[in-house]
């Protein structure tokens, strides 16, 4: 994968000079307006294996959506019976290919949302055919159920997902947390944030065998297709002298067994498939809110799926490019260790910070270039003039 | 009891043509405005046997009201000491015929709400006689404490209650649930709603020995005095073929032991007193929010007493026209079976729907004539021009 | 201590005639506006012994404040990292004399709030020295940590506290309750309120050995320096005949062992130091919200520290002017009896009333002169024309 440095990104030059001292979301009006998320994207919802013909309700971008499986396909309808406003996800499947509202048995075709019976009004009910609920495009992929929320024709799902997940075999395991507190933007910003990991996560058990730098010179680079932003560390420091204060971070006894985390996490133990991706940085982010972390032997993804103003669905997804025995070994590693220490404790501390954050106003510092660059990506993707040139949809044939 | 069909109801002809496509409460502005309930009615509150000289607080139509018994009579005062706003229902009876605020011992005559002592200011307190709290008309009847909430002279209680409760001996048992979630209007609409019973309640244990129709041709008729609206089933269907879907409701193995529910629930096992009432329909409703269900051997009433915008007091009341041994038998039946399966489980499912309802907007269907006819009853009872012609007050001498 | 009666208080004559019938806070606009408390005062927060170098968060007058001890001194900073709005009180001390935000390790000098390191940006971080958080004046005194909240130069702490606490040796014990429900003004008013004690607290266990008057003729007098208001009982009544109702309070069997509470609580068993204070009344109050109760052998203070609109920090503080063995005896008495029955049960009933109060509107009665006089004290202390003549600051050299 080739990349172009931030400096060469034309979009930057076009930007108006930013008002001095203004350090909050008002600099990015499209971003500020995206409280409920970015429309016209595919979002992951539930594990495909957990969805049967008992409907499930989820909230996406402020919309209540009912999911159901019919045969080998999954379907999504607006989760509100138009009769009296009861949730269809509280109902059940009475006839094949339909879902019935629990209140009066209004029965909707799951494929298109059309009302096909209003049971207590008999077979000749005049309302049949005259009412329908909105249906949403769905896909089943990567073990997840995906829903497209937007007003445009859906882009092919694959175009909005990391390419490597379609070009290599792998085993995946993960954790889905609905109703995680905090606006989705705080969650993305926290995920891609350069600075916090060095401090917030430093002493966590998951870092026991890694010697984390204290700080780094970092630049943000975009992938050539514009889909991803990478944090690229040009240099890292492991212990520094802070004038008047002392040394930080201080070396600990446990560090004798630690392996230094080098820029880009490149080392001889690097997984060959991950190596072949040629990622310029350890951490990357893309629209509509997907973080990728390249560990030495596996990739970790996390989606921050907007639910409402103050909550998001948090989808953690770990990928090991192995099959057969390697598959079994990774599953064992995931369920004994990664799920607990990384998908639980480690990212739990991020959840704590997202809950605590009380911004704007904010006062950014040098490492926050990761945050502002991400904001700018969202901002320009949704500028009116670029409407016809959606990054991922347009570039992949 | 004679009835006049809906078609002959003059009120209907007077109505302005309703705006096409408008399907919500805005069609009935008086009804829409009645968020906190209908004033100038008697409402049931607590069991008479549970009220002693320890004051109790209830909320009716948005007003906090204190109830207390003094000797053989019950009294109701506005439940707020005018001094500093503390609830009188938190206080106690210090002197006969009074209630004292817990904070400073302001002591009110329960009969008229007049301040008759401000204890810590001594017997010569100049405020005595210059302050009073509102008192509410009360009655004790049918084992319940009734309060009249309104600004007019109270109608005799009997005029606002079902006649049969004053003309026959009976045994009653029931259940009072304060703070049930949902605006009172949703609760009445659900109770009188033709369609939901066929679907929502079909598979409940209380229906085990009844074969419920799948659907019915129903018309709404008013009683001659205009007090009641009845759902009258002109025909019922027990199993129908829904094109493209299949048969519904499907016959179940348990139905061999079921008795068909016929229109009007008329049968040879019908209780003679209930039969003598000559009710044109199984279910009826009246102002200010009382539902009557005629089962074969007993009547069930439920009052939806407005508390605040989102809560009502739910009074369930089962009546068997028997005394002596029949009385004992019914009490046994009530406490072993009816209370649990009907007043608990069955109507609990209604509570669930009232919680789930998220309307307006709404999209009504044919069986909802029961709902719209009820709305129209409320609407016309409170139209300015009919102010002087209140249905129940005016018609009974 | 000499006092001047209320009648001689010049401030009264200046007052405009009050609108007839208007009986609520609108009479005292400054008071009404003081929802979040009175600024430019010292407030007690936590026990000094409980504050170490682990930061603690408190809320004062609507402001989040972090407290920390560094060596022998305590410091207070605005409890919000300006970077992303996380609370510094969730962080920790990494270097001596500093506190670091948990999120990115922004490190602030506790003495002045200056940012002295932004750890993950390295020692050369350009933001260092360009950001700071507000710091608050603090003092450690009487075993408590005090914070000055305001915009003016802080008055010496001693000038805002009861003089006797600096001129005599004593032993103190108490109880701090953060987050007590109710606006601070309701709590002060309840504390100084003449009338409620006679009724609300009459039958409490703490009153077992005291015969409380039923009512009293009371006037409010100010101390000569204007700092304190006293309730002075000119006469008390122990049992009265309320016409048409009966005698109240009624003598109880337990009262044979009770000692009458006389005006000013003066008796031969009175503690000599308390006697020497020459207090004209049992109960007194001062700005910004401190109540003093003179029991026979000890003083009780309570501070109502504003937190937000609906909560205050409640600081109860009992003072016995003894040392040595008397010290031990009082501690024993406090922990076996006073803490439980007075600082727990007795004032717990006040908390109940403060929760119940639903005012304005209100309708005051004669004993409420204590409340209105207190309101007037607040009102005049904060009148624009008196801004330069702050009562306590100006009068003590």
The alpha carbon of residue A69 is apart from the nearest alpha carbon of chain B, in Å, by 18
Chains that touch A (3 or more CB pairs under 8 A): B, C
Q: Give the count of beta carbons closer than 10 Å to the beta carbon of residue B27.
A: 18
Q: pLDDT digit string (tens) for C140-199?
A: 999 999 999 999 999 999 999 999 999 999 999 999 999 999 999 999 999 999 899 899
CA distance readout (Å), A292 to A304, A390, B84: 12, 21, 60
| Closest residue, chain A, to B369 (C-alpha) | A121
Please determine, for residue B126, whether its predicted confidence score (pLDDT) is greater than 70: yes
Q: Do C119 and A363 touch (CB under 8 A)?
A: no
Q: pLDDT digit string (tens) for B54-71?
A: 999 999 999 999 999 999
Q: pLDDT digit string (tens) for B314-356?
A: 999 999 998 888 889 999 999 999 999 999 999 999 999 999 9
- The three-class DSSP label of residue A287 is coil
* Domains of chain B as residue ranges with CATH: 3-34+155-395 (3.90.380.10), 48-144 (2.102.10.10)
Is A80 in CB contact (< 8 Å) with chain B? yes
Contacts of B83 in chain C (CB under 8 A): 362-365
User: What helix, strand, coil percent values describe chain A, rounded to 5?
Assistant: 30, 30, 40
- pTM for the predicted model, two decimal places: 0.88
Q: pLDDT digit string (tens) for B198-250?
A: 999 998 988 877 778 899 889 999 999 999 999 998 888 988 999 999 999 98
Nearest CB among C94, C102, C123 relative to A200 is that of C102
Q: Do B122 and C199 touch (CB under 8 A)?
A: no
Nearest CB among B359, B364, B366 relative to A125 is that of B366
Nearest CB among B195, B353, B361 relative to A86 is that of B353
Is B397 in CB contact (< 8 Å) with chain A? no
Give residue C18's pLDDT: 43
- Distance, CA of C365 to CA of C193 (rounded, Å): 11
The alpha carbon of residue C242 is apart from the nearest alpha carbon of chain B, in Å, by 5
- Distance, CA of A122 to CA of C84 (rounded, Å): 59
Dihedral sign of CA atoms C254, C255, C256, C259 in order: positive
CA distance readout (Å), B237 to B126, B200, B213, B246, B366: 74, 17, 5, 15, 16
Q: Do B119 and C214 touch (CB under 8 A)?
A: yes
Q: Do B199 and A84 touch (CB under 8 A)?
A: no
Interface test with C, best of B97, B101, B104 (most C CBs within 10 A): B104
What does the mean pLDDT of chain B come to? Answer: 88
Q: Which residues pair with A115 in a beta bridge?
A: A108
Residue B255 pLDDT grade (very low, low, confident, very high; cuts 50, 70, 90): low
Q: What is the DSSP letter of B132?
A: B
Is B48 in CB contact (< 8 Å) with chain C? no
Residue B261 pLDDT grade (very low, low, confident, very high; cuts 50, 70, 90): low
Interface test with B, best of C182, C204, C242, C244 (most B CBs within 10 A): C242
Q: Do B199 and A100 touch (CB under 8 A)?
A: yes
Task: Answer whether B222's CB lies under 8 Å from B6's CB.
Answer: yes
Q: Do A364 and C83 touch (CB under 8 A)?
A: yes
Residues 6+ apart with CB under 8 A from C40: C148, C149, C150, C151, C152, C154, C155, C390
Interface test with C, best of B70, B82, B100, B103 (most C CBs within 10 A): B103
The alpha carbon of residue B303 is apart from the nearest alpha carbon of chain A, in Å, by 21
Q: Give the count of beta carbons closer than 10 Å to the beta carbon of residue B385.
A: 8
Q: pLDDT digit string (tens) for B373-384?
A: 999 999 988 765
At what angle are helices C347-356 and C184-192 packed, to 10 degrees?
A: 130
Task: Answer whether C112's CB lies under 8 Å from C121's CB.
Answer: no
What values do phi and psi take at A354, rounded to 5? -60, -35
Is C244 in CB contact (< 8 Å) with chain A? no
The alpha carbon of residue C189 is apart from the nearest alpha carbon of chain B, in Å, by 11
| Closest residue, chain C, to B125 (C-alpha) | C366
Spacing of C-alpha C219 from chain mean position:
22
Residue B19 pLDDT grade (very low, low, confident, very high; cuts 50, 70, 90): very low
Q: Do C353 and B122 touch (CB under 8 A)?
A: no
Give residue C325's pLDDT: 85
Give the helix/strand (H/E) hosting C147.
Answer: strand C144-149
Contacts of A196 in chain C (CB under 8 A): 103-104, 120
Q: Which residues pair with A234 in a beta bridge?
A: none
Is A151 in CB contact (< 8 Å) with chain C? no
Instruction: Give per-10-residue mean pLDDT for chain A (397 aa).
Output: 40 42 71 95 98 98 98 97 97 97 98 97 95 98 97 95 96 97 97 93 86 89 94 90 93 63 58 92 95 95 98 98 88 95 96 94 93 93 54 39
| Closest residue, chain B, to A127 (C-alpha) | B365
The low-confidence residues of chain C, meaning pLDDT below 70, are 1-24, 253-268, 383-397
Is B357 in CB contact (< 8 Å) with chain A? yes
Q: Do A245 and C104 touch (CB under 8 A)?
A: no
Nearest CB among C86, C120, C123 relative to A241 is that of C123
Q: Do A199 and C121 touch (CB under 8 A)?
A: no
Q: Do A122 and B215 touch (CB under 8 A)?
A: yes
The alpha carbon of residue C102 is apart from the nearest alpha carbon of chain A, in Å, by 6
Is B96 in CB contact (< 8 Å) with chain A? no
Is A384 in CB contact (< 8 Å) with chain C? no
How long a stretch of residues is chain C? 397
**DSSP output for A3-36:** EEEGGG-HHHHHSPPPPTT--SGGG-HHHHH-TT
Of the listed ranges B185-189, B262-266, C67-71, the least confidently predicted one is: B262-266
Nearest CB among A199, A357, A366 relative to C119 is that of A199
């Amino acid at each position: 994968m080739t990349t172009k440095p931030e400096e060469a990104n034309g979009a930057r030059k076009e930007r108006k000079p930013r008002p001095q001292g203004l350090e909050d979301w008002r600099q990015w009006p499209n971003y500020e307006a995206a409280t409920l998320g970015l429309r016209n994207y595919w979002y992951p919802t539930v594990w495909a294996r957990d969805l049967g013909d008992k409907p499930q309700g989820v909230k996406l971008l402020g919309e209540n959506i009912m999911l159901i499986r019919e045969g080998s396909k999954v379907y999504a309808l607006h989760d509100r019976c138009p009769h009296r406003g009861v949730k269809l996800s509280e109902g059940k499947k009475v006839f094949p290919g339909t879902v019935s509202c629990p209140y009066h048995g209004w029965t909707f075709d799951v494929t298109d949302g059309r009302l096909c019976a209003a049971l207590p009004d008999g077979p000749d009910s005049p309302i049949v055919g005259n009412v329908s609920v909105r249906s949403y495009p769905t896909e089943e992929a990567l073990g997840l159920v995906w829903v497209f929320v937007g007003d445009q024709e859906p882009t092919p799902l694959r175009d909005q997902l990391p390419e490597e997940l379609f070009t290599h075999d792998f085993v995946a395991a993960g954790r889905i947390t609905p109703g995680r507190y905090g606006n989705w933007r705080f969650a993305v910003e926290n995920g891609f944030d350069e600075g916090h990991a060095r401090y917030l996560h430093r002493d966590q058990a998951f870092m026991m065998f890694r010697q984390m730098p204290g700080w780094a010179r970092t630049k943000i680079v975009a992938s050539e297709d514009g889909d991803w932003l990478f944090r690229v560390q040009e240099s890292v420091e492991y212990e520094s002298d802070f004038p008047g204060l002392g040394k930080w971070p201080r070396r600990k006894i446990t560090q004798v067994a630690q392996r230094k985390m080098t820029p880009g996490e490149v080392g001889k133990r690097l997984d060959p498939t991950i190596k072949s991706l040629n990622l310029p940085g350890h951490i990357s982010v893309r629209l509509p809110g997907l973080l990728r972390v390249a560990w030495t032997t596996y990739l970790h993804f996390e989606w921050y799926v907007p639910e409402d103003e103050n909550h998001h669905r948090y989808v953690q997804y770990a990928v090991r490019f192995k099959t057969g025995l390697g598959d079994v070994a990774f599953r064992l590693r995931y369920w004994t260790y990664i799920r607990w220490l990384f998908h639980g404790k480690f990212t739990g501390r991020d959840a704590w910070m997202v809950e605590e954050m009380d911004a704007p106003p904010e006062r950014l510092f040098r490492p926050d270039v990761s945050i502002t660059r991400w904001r700018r990506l969202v901002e320009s993707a949704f500028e009116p003039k670029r409407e016809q040139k959606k990054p991922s949809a347009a570039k992949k044939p």
